[in-house]
Chain A
Amino acid sequence: MTIKKQGLSWIAWLSLGLMLTWLILPLLPLALWSISHRWYFPDILPSEYSLHAWKYVFSDTAGVMTALGQTTLIALGTTALAVLIGVPAGRALGLYHFKGKALVELLILAPTIVPGIAVVLGIHVVFLKLGLANSLFGVMIVHLIPALPYMVLVMAGVFANYNPAIEAQARSLGANPLQAFWYVTLPAILPGLLVGCFFTFLVSWSQYILTLVIGGGRVATLPLLLFNFATSGRNDITGAIGILYILPGVIVLVLAARHLSGRNSAAGSLRQI
Chain B
Amino acid sequence: MMRLLKTAGRKTVVAAMASLLAVIAPLNATAAEDFSNKNWDEIVAAAKGGTVNWFMWGGADNINQYVSAWVGNELSARYDITLNRVGINDTAEAVNLVLGEKQAGVDDTGAVDLIWINGGNFRTMKQGGLVFCGYVDKLPNNALINWQDASIANDFGLAVEGCEVPWNRTQFAFAYDAARTPKPPRSITELIDWVKANPGEFTYPAASDFNGSVFIRHVFYHAAGGPEKLLGDFDQATFDAVAPKAWAILNDMKPHLWRAGNTYPTSITALQQLFSNREVALYFNYDPAIFGINVENGIFPKSTRSYGLKDGTIGNTNYVAIPYNSPNKAAAMVLANFLTSFDAQYEKAKPDVWGAAPAIDAAKLSADQRSRFEALPRNPAVVSSQELAKKALPELHPDWIKAIEKGWQENVAE
Contacts and interface: CB of A to CB of B under 8 A. Distances in A.
Given A125-B103, A236-B298, A80 B8 contact: yes
Interface string A69-112: 00001001101110110000000000000000000000000000
Contacts of A256: 1
Contacts of B86: 217, 220
Nearest to B66: A61
B29 to A, nearest CB: 16
B213 to A, nearest CB: 17
B58 interface: yes
A59 B62 CA distance: 12
Contact of A217 (B55, B103, B267, B276): B55
Interface in A51-72: 52, 56, 59-63
Contacts of B12: 73, 76-77, 80, 136-137, 140
Interface in B78-96: 84, 86-89, 93, 96
B96 A121 contact: yes
Contact of A125 (B65, B104, B267): B104
A80 B9 contact: yes
Interface string B10-27: 101101110110011000
A193 B5 CA distance: 12
A202 to B, nearest CB: 15
Interface stretch (A168-176, A222-230, A243-251): A222-230
Given A41-B278, A121-B100, A128 B59 contact: no
A218 B64 CA distance: 17
Nearest to A137: B16
B388 interface: no
A250 to B, nearest CB: 16
Contact of A234 (B72, B104, B297): B297
Interface string A246-273: 0000000001100100000000000000
A124 B17 contact: no
A50 interface: yes
Contacts of A38: 298, 301
Given A79-B5, A140-B16, A233 B272 contact: yes
Given A134-B111, A217-B53, A228-B88, A233 B299 contact: yes
Nearest to B274: A41
Given A52-B297, A136-B15, A236-B297, A231 B61 contact: no
A156 interface: no
B285 to A, nearest CB: 12
B88 A212 contact: yes
A256 B4 CA distance: 13
A32 B297 CA distance: 15
Interface in A151-169: none
B277 interface: yes
A136 B24 CA distance: 12
DSSP majority for the B interface?
helix
A236 B100 CA distance: 35
Contact of A231 (B5, B16, B103, B269): B269
A36 B72 CA distance: 29
B59 A232 contact: yes
Given A61-B68, A135-B20, A218-B111, A232 B103 contact: no
A102 B201 CA distance: 57
B241 interface: no
B2 A128 contact: no
Contacts of A186: 2
A138 B17 CA distance: 10
A229 B62 CA distance: 12
A5 interface: no
Given A40-B277, A41-B278, A76-B9, A61 B60 contact: no
A58 to B, nearest CB: 12
A62 B61 contact: yes
B324 to A, nearest CB: 15
B30 to A, nearest CB: 15
A62 B64 contact: yes
A237 interface: yes
A128 B5 contact: no
A218 B53 contact: yes
Given A197-B1, A236-B297, A256-B1, 4 more contacts: A125-B104, A217-B112, A233-B59, A237-B61
25 contacts: A38-B298, A40-B278, A41-B277, A41-B278, A62-B61, A73-B12, A77-B9, A80-B8, A83-B5, A125-B100, A131-B24, A134-B111, A135-B19, A136-B15, A137-B16, A193-B2, A217-B55, A217-B97, A218-B84, A218-B111, A228-B57, A232-B57, A233-B269, A234-B299, A237-B61
Interface of A: 36-41, 48, 50, 52, 56, 59-63, 73, 76-77, 79-81, 83-84, 121, 124-126, 128-129, 131, 133-138, 140, 186, 190, 193-194, 197, 212-213, 216-218, 220, 224-225, 227-229, 231-234, 236-237, 255-256, 259
